Amino acid sequence: MHADQLTYARLYDQLLAYEGGALFGEVLRPWLAANDAERRWLETIARRPGRPIPPMAVEESWRLYALSRIIQLLQLSFAPPVAHPAWKIAPVSAEEYAAFLDGLGLQRVERDDFHPFHHEIVSVQPAVDDDDPPRVERIYWPGCMLGPLLISRAGCAIVAGRARVDPVRAARSTLYWAFARNHRPTTDLSAGWGSNSQWRTAFRRDYALDGALHYNAGAARHQPDADPGLGAAERDELLRHRCFITGTQRDDDRWPYDYTLTESA
């Protein structure tokens, strides 16, 4: 664990241990008041220029990853309930979640038109027409950006034709670059490491810049053969959606972390 991650790691421990009924008032609000330096640091990241991708030190990427863990734990408040949750975190309201994001200077994003850059599929309702493209039916939690950098996608319920989206695969297959979900399996590059080492995980960086969307821009270079079991379409699907939505390959032992993609916004 790097020293810059300690404030998030301590908050993470507090979230796991808290058993009261006022998580925002007793834990999150005091944390925001005591850690205004995090908001100021995030402001520098939001303003940082690039050509086109802004540079980022590995320690800064670890720091953003630590923040992403906190955000994912809070998003559990809004996901569909499950009978036996692996994560048991005291809930926050939508207003409290928004206040936490605002307190860090993150910009909430709610888009009506479905796009995998901005939307994580949480649940799927099959459309009458099998060829209907996905459309957003409901937002479980809003997405958030830090300038051009995506911090978290919005969780959404969609309606889509079965030829476009397999309802089971899209909602239940392994979600990559994810740490905490109760309704589906997840994995990221922290998996398998010890309690200290796992924090030294790079944050996946997706940018919306100058009319282009850059997926996993922090990868050293695109390596299409990183997972030789995948074809080009399955590779792009896994990178863009962070899970399979139609692909029939095994979903629990893939290696998408060396893929990158740039497309028009």
Q: What are the pLDDT digits (tens) for 187-225?
A: 999 998 887 789 999 999 999 999 999 999 988 677 778
What are the residue boundaries of the structural domains of the chain, listed by start?
3-264
pLDDT of residue 34: 97
How many CB atoms lie under 10 A from the CB of residue 132?
16
What is the average per-residue pLDDT within 152-167?
97
Which tens digits make up the pLDDT trace of 34-66? Answer: 999 999 999 999 999 999 999 999 999 999 999
Residue 53 burial (CB < 10 Å; 0-12/13-18/19+)?
middle
Percent of the chain at pLDDT above 90? Answer: 88
- Of the pLDDT bands very low, low, confident and very high (cuts 50, 70, 90), residue 94 is very high
Farthest-apart Cα atoms in the chain, separation: 53
pLDDT for residue 17 is more than 80: yes
- If you compute the radius of gyration of the chain from its CA atoms, what whole number of angstroms results? 18
Give the integer Cα–Cα distance in Å for 107 and 103: 10
- Of the pLDDT bands very low, low, confident and very high (cuts 50, 70, 90), residue 110 is confident
pLDDT of residue 245: 97
What is the average per-residue pLDDT within 244-261?
92
pLDDT of residue 60: 97
- Of the pLDDT bands very low, low, confident and very high (cuts 50, 70, 90), residue 22 is very high
pLDDT of residue 13: 97
Average pLDDT of the chain?
Answer: 95
Contact 248, 210 (CB under 8 A): no
- Of the pLDDT bands very low, low, confident and very high (cuts 50, 70, 90), residue 78 is very high
pLDDT for residue 159 is more than 80: yes
- Of the pLDDT bands very low, low, confident and very high (cuts 50, 70, 90), residue 238 is very high
- Of the pLDDT bands very low, low, confident and very high (cuts 50, 70, 90), residue 169 is very high
Give the integer Cα–Cα distance in Å for 96 and 81: 19
Report which of residues 153 and 218 the model is more confident about.
Answer: 153
pLDDT of residue 247: 81
pLDDT of residue 178: 98
What is the average per-residue pLDDT within 2-23?
95
pLDDT of residue 41: 97
Give the integer Cα–Cα distance in Å for 39 and 169: 37
pLDDT of residue 83: 93
Per-residue DSSP letter, 199: G
